[in-house]
Chain A
Amino acid sequence: MIDVRAVRREFPIFVNNPNLVFLDSGASAQKPRAVIDGIAEFYRSDYANVHRGVYQLSARSTDRFEEARATVRAFLNAADEREIVFVRGATEAINLVAQSWGGAVLQAGDEVVISDLEHHSNLVPWQIACQRAGARLLVAPTDATGEFDLGAFEALLSPRTRMVAVTHVSNVTGTVLPVENIARLAHRRGAMVLVDGCQAIPRMPVDVQAIGCDFYAFSGHKAYGPSGVGILYGRYDALAAMPPWQTGGGMITSVAYAGTEFQEPPHRFEAGTPDIAGAVGLKLALDFIEGFGREAIREHEAALTDYGVDVLSRIPDLNLVGGGQRRLSILSFNIDGVHPHDVGTVLDQHEVAVRVGHHCAQPLMDKLGISGTVRASLGIYNDKADIDRLAKAIEACREMFLR
């Protein structure tokens, strides 16, 4: 059981904004004291550039940076630390794969399969990569309840399928995708598999070997860590076969005007000075999550999700967007006759912070026939009282617009 009152004391934002109901963790999570203070302490005590200095301080900073990599490896249950690439975030991780792997492998006539739940950042990079190669982008559908349609997905696969790129948890519907089955079916056809783990990492156990994916991407800032740092996990063989993406310092073994030799992964993909303190902060965030246990966090958020579905379903004129059988932590809805922006403004006046709009998933909005939704998303610090405050604010909104 997670003691939400104790959790909240770990988050200064709630101490400084005691009346705030924060339901926008899907966009970015708040930061615990351990992360905020830990980053400051790192700058105070151990900071220098990494991998280059001969002096002790640089060695210490490098140790902290590489220790973060080790923590991420364990967190994902990757086989090897060399499979963990530090990037700016999920967007950069996916662009790295789409451009490096996609640029080298994709040919005219090849196919890339995504789902219709993808965030623009797991859609546009593939669209561009396909355009460049003359490949086709295929979209696997969710059914009317918001559940990923595994049968329809399987029917889309063919010997031409080179890549299957899907989200683990939808940032719009909360649908949890059956990524293990998706990976198994894709591999049977010889395709590679990338999973966008942005929404899964902060709220459920993730084991990349059990999933069987080739790539797994996530951003630190949605997992209680700092913004500006994220992770690309890549199976070592897959990474080793990929050409460098960005080039420059830190990723070479030797440079001459006649040519350059590049490092092995992961450094091959880490050109330039990385976000050193960001990596340290991410490690602290993952430690913070592990302190509660991901199974406990999932239970907490799943129970709260069920409660939210229950409460929202009772509100007249409210339509909840379907999130399938195993919805997690994300509740998207519309109120008949009231535009999401107007709902957002009224909720804000009740100090309930939600996100409104298309949530970087415009093709999904088109499919649902709406311009946007109101989205409440949960974090470790939310409880039933937050859902009740949300419901009360929605009531005020209906009162104003629909009376």
Chain B
Amino acid sequence: MTDLRELYQEIILDHGRHPRNFHALEHPTHLAKGYNPLCGDRVTVYLALDGDRIVDVSFDGRGCAISTAAASLMTEVLKGKTVAEARALFARFRAEVTGGETVELPEALSEDAERLEPLTGVKAFPVRVKCATLPWHAFEAALKGGLEGDTVKTE
């Protein structure tokens, strides 16, 4: 039996119950929705970019503890990052949870990568990996689509 505590670590439960940056942005420059048809969960990710820098990021919607915590932690680490840094963090995170090839990160981002570490417990629960990556895919779609970002689906 894989230990549930690996998945539902204290920090995940905390962010699941009390998500940070859980509101719509008043003046987003980018936004996109993520949808998981399997469970009907929805998340909207809002970004405010100034040039290349993410000055603000938030989300709303409804989801399980994993997707809520993933979105909450994501908004925390993305605030203040450049788009390139944010994409590097996503690449690293995705590799970690899907068991892909490790993505090297510049030293400056290692602390952020560590903050996302508690979510990597989903690796042992393959059916839940999509819950953790959904907000990140919505973030990616927002970057690409501006205010008209495509809705991303998990399947």
Interface residues of A (CB under 8 A from B): 337-342, 345-346, 349, 356-358, 362, 365, 371-372, 400-401
Q: Known contacts being A341-B64, A400-B4, A401-B65, is A358 close to B125, with CB within 8 Å?
A: no
> Contact at B40–A342, with CB atoms within 8 Å?
no
Q: Which B52-107 residues have C-beta < 8 A from chain A? A: 62-66
- Contact present for B39 and A345 (CB under 8 Å): no
Q: Are B40 and A371 in contact (CB under 8 A)?
A: yes
Known contacts A356-B39, A362-B40, A400-B4: A345-B62 contact under CB 8 Å: no
Judge if B116 is at the interface, Cβ distance under 8 Å: no
B38 cross-chain contacts in A, Cβ below 8 A: 357
Q: Are B131 and A358 in contact (CB under 8 A)?
A: no
Q: Does B7 contact A (CB under 8 A)?
A: yes
Please give 16 more A-B residue pairs, beta carbons under 8 A apart, in addition to A342-B16, A349-B2, A401-B65.
Answer: A338-B65, A339-B63, A339-B64, A340-B64, A341-B64, A341-B131, A342-B64, A345-B128, A346-B4, A357-B38, A358-B40, A362-B40, A365-B40, A371-B40, A372-B39, A372-B40
What's the least CB distance linking B31 to chain A, in Å? 21
Q: Does B22 contact A (CB under 8 A)?
A: no
- Chain B residues, CB < 8 A from A400: 4, 8, 13
B6 to chain A, nearest CB (A): 11
A357 / chain B contacts, CB cutoff of 8 Å: 38-40
**Residues on the B chain within 8 Å of A339, using CB:** 41, 63-65
B1 at the A/B interface (Cβ < 8 Å)? yes
| A21 to B54 CA separation, bound complex (whole angstroms) | 48
Given A346-B4, A400-B4, verify A340-B39 contact (CB < 8 Å).
yes
| Closest A residue to B3 using CB positions | A349
- Nearest B residue to A338 via CB reads B65
Contact A345 B13 (CB under 8 A): no
Q: 3 tightest CB-CB pairs across the interface, nearest first?
A: A339-B64, A341-B64, A371-B40
Alpha-carbon separation in the docked complex, A210 to B38 (Å): 38
CB distance from A230 to the nearest CB of B (A): 24
Report chain B residues within 8 Å CB of A337: 17
Chain B neighbourhood of A362, CB < 8 A: 40
Chain A residues positioned under 8 Å from B125 (CB to CB): 345
Find chain A residues with CB under 8 A from B131 CB.
341
Residues in A with CB closer than 8 Å to B4 are 345-346, 349, 400
| Nearest CB on B from A371, distance (A) | 4
- The closest CB in chain A to the CB of B2 belongs to A349
Q: Name the A residues within 8 Å of B63 (CB-CB).
A: 339
B66–A342 contact, CB under 8 A?
yes
Are A371 and B62 in contact, with the CB atoms below 8 A? Answer: yes
Query: B41: nearest residue on chain A (CB-CB)?
Result: A371
Task: Report B-chain residues with C-beta under 8 Å of the C-beta of A372.
Answer: 39-40
> B13, A341: Cβ atoms under 8 Å?
no
* 8 Å CB interface, B13-45 against A: 13, 16-17, 38-41
- Report yes or no: B13 in contact with A401, Cβ–Cβ below 8 A: yes
For A349, what are the chain B residues with a Cβ–Cβ distance below 8 Å? 1-2, 4
Q: List 9 A-B contacts (CB under 8 A).
A: A340-B64, A342-B65, A345-B127, A345-B128, A346-B4, A357-B40, A358-B40, A371-B39, A371-B62
Distance A341 CA – B66 CA, assembled complex (angstroms): 9
Set A346, A358, A401: member contacting B39, Cβ < 8 A = A358
Chain B residue with Cβ nearest A366: B40
In the assembled complex, how far is the CB of residue B154 from the closest CB belonging to chain A, in whole angstroms? 12
A341 neighbours in B (Cβ, 8 Å): 39, 41, 64, 66, 128, 131
Residue on B with the closest CB to A350? Answer: B1
Within the assembled complex, what's the spacing in Å between the Cα atoms of A358 and B36? 11
Most chain B C-beta atoms within 10 Å of own C-beta, residue among A349, A356, A365: A349
Inter-chain CA distance A365–B2, complex, in Å, is: 32
> CB-CB < 8 A to A345: which residues of B?
4, 7, 125, 127-128
Q: Which of B39, B125, B131 has the most chain A CB atoms closer than 10 A to its own CB?
A: B39
A340: chain B residues at CB < 8 Å are 39, 64
Which A residues lie within 8 Å of B7 (CB)? 345
Shortest beta-carbon distance from B8 to chain A in Å: 6
- In the assembled complex, the Cα of A346 lies from the Cα of B66 at a distance in Å of 13
CA distance A349 to B64 in the complex (A): 17
* Minimum CB distance partner of A343 in chain B: B64
Min CB distance B9 to A, Å, is: 11
Find chain B residues with CB under 8 A from A358 CB.
39-40
CB distance from A229 to the nearest CB of B (A): 26
CA separation between A338 and B38, bound complex, in Å? 17
Bound together, the chains give a CA A372 to CA B37 distance in angstroms of 11
